[in-house]
Amino acid sequence: MKLMKKSSSGIPIFLNRKKGSSSVFLVMILASVITLVMTFVSAAMRTAAIGYMDGLVNLSGRSVLSEFDLHLKDDYGLFAFRGHKQEIISKVTDYLSYTLDHNDYIGLSKVDANTAGYCLADVDIFEKEVCEYTKYAIARGFIEGLINDDDSGERKPVDMKSDGRTLRNHKIIDQLPSGAHPGNGSIVESVKEMLSSGGGIQERGTSNYMIVQYIMHTFKNAQKNGVKRGLSADGSGGGQSKDTFFDSEAEYIIEGEMSDLKNRRELRADIVKIRNAVNLLFIWADPEMREKVLAAAELLGTEVAAPVAALGLSEAWALAEAENDMRILEHGKKVPLHKTKDTWATDVESVVKNKESGYIDTDSDKGLTYQGYLMMFLFVEKRALKLGRMMDLMQINIQGRYDRTFLIREHNMGFWVKAEADGREYVYDQKY
């Protein structure tokens, strides 16, 4: 029998070898477990870093949005912050670095931003924000509804003698947003086309309806200066009426003159033109009135000249009625779009004798007030020009009351931001 070799310690050699193999095996298992644990820890750290960084970028962007212009918000209900690309990049970088500078696991490598598609001076963006605010204001009761013919609010007589204010500063004028949207065409012809087609105030809920509602609620006009701007301190609506550069703001949106008096006069002339055209159609459509014109024309001219005299006389009669209509409107009363014999005020004899007698009130309870005619003109005003002139008024008023450097084109409703950290990109569209 072969004798078993023993080690110096007396333990068989093959047992030592078996014990060594087990140790190596256990070490290998332990190394695998440690590697697996470290992999899980690393993955968990990466996942946590992604979530952590994602939250930081989002929070930094929201912090930039929090710096909105208080005057624009309080007076006009719009949220927008001032800043260009480099300013936003600098702010976001500062916000991120404040936290990451003390973090050994996340390294910020790059920040980028862009305001394209968010500038408040863009008419599409501006229109959308105004409509959204108007819907919100209606739902919350801040705006009770479109000012209309049943409106029992303030209707003071229109002052055609007061000069009001005139904007003469060319630096301010040259920077007005409406400069990028020059007017073209005749607004009077647009109104005539609307009336001849049987059109009227557009359907409720459309963007144009919302814009006109916003204008009539937010901006002053020659007959309604008690406009409440913004929200009260408790958020219930009906803030304080504030001083504005122009008193005839709605008239400015329609006419675009740099003078209160010019805007009132031009709008007056435009309303008279509309009333003149409608009244002329009524004269020739009514057999009795047409007969009176022809009879008066025969007395004024020869048999050959009578038709020409009739045309001139009917035009003068329609104009005299239109002037009377305008005076009724200026005193806060109503004038029907289409007249009846009961609502016709002047007579052909007064026109022939050129008599001036103030104005004749027909006491009509139907038709439109001065506010209604304003809305009619606002509805047909060119969209881009109308929105641009609304921006003009906001910019002029904020510059005059709070901040001389305020410019609509420097304000944004949001921005796009991208941050790179540890080879990963974090992208957000930040907006109000």
- For the stretch 149-200, pLDDT in tens is 445 455 667 776 777 899 999 999 999 999 877 766 678 888 877 777 665 5
Q: In which band, very low, low, confident or very high, does the pLDDT at 234 lie, cut at 50, 70 and 90?
A: very low
309 vs 43, residue with greater confidence = 309
Q: Over the stretch 6-37, which tens digit does the pLDDT of each residue have?
A: 555 555 555 555 556 777 777 778 877 787 77
pLDDT above 90 covers a percentage of the chain that reads 52
Query: Above 90 in pLDDT, residue 300?
Result: no
Question: For the whole prediction, is pTM greater than 0.75?
Answer: yes
Query: Above 50 in pLDDT, residue 422?
Result: yes
Domain ranges of the chain: 16-118+413-431, 136-405
Task: Please name which of 356, 273, 361 lies closest in space to residue 322, comparing C-alpha atoms.
Answer: 273
Torsion, Cα 80 86 91 92, to 10 degrees, reads: 100
User: Of 260-269, 304-313, 411-420, which gets the smallest average pLDDT?
Assistant: 304-313
Q: In which band, very low, low, confident or very high, does the pLDDT at 241 lie, cut at 50, 70 and 90?
A: low
pLDDT above 70 covers a percentage of the chain that reads 80
Beta-bridged to residue 252, according to DSSP, are none
| Cβ proximity of 294 and 209 under 8 Å | no
Q: Over the stretch 45-64, which tens digit does the pLDDT of each residue have?
A: 566 667 888 889 999 999 99
Q: Over the stretch 194-215, which tens digit does the pLDDT of each residue have?
A: 777 665 555 555 899 999 999 9
Query: Above 50 in pLDDT, residue 1?
Result: no
Helices (H), 66-143: 70-76, 85-100, 123-140
Q: Whose structure tokens read 């479109």?
A: 146
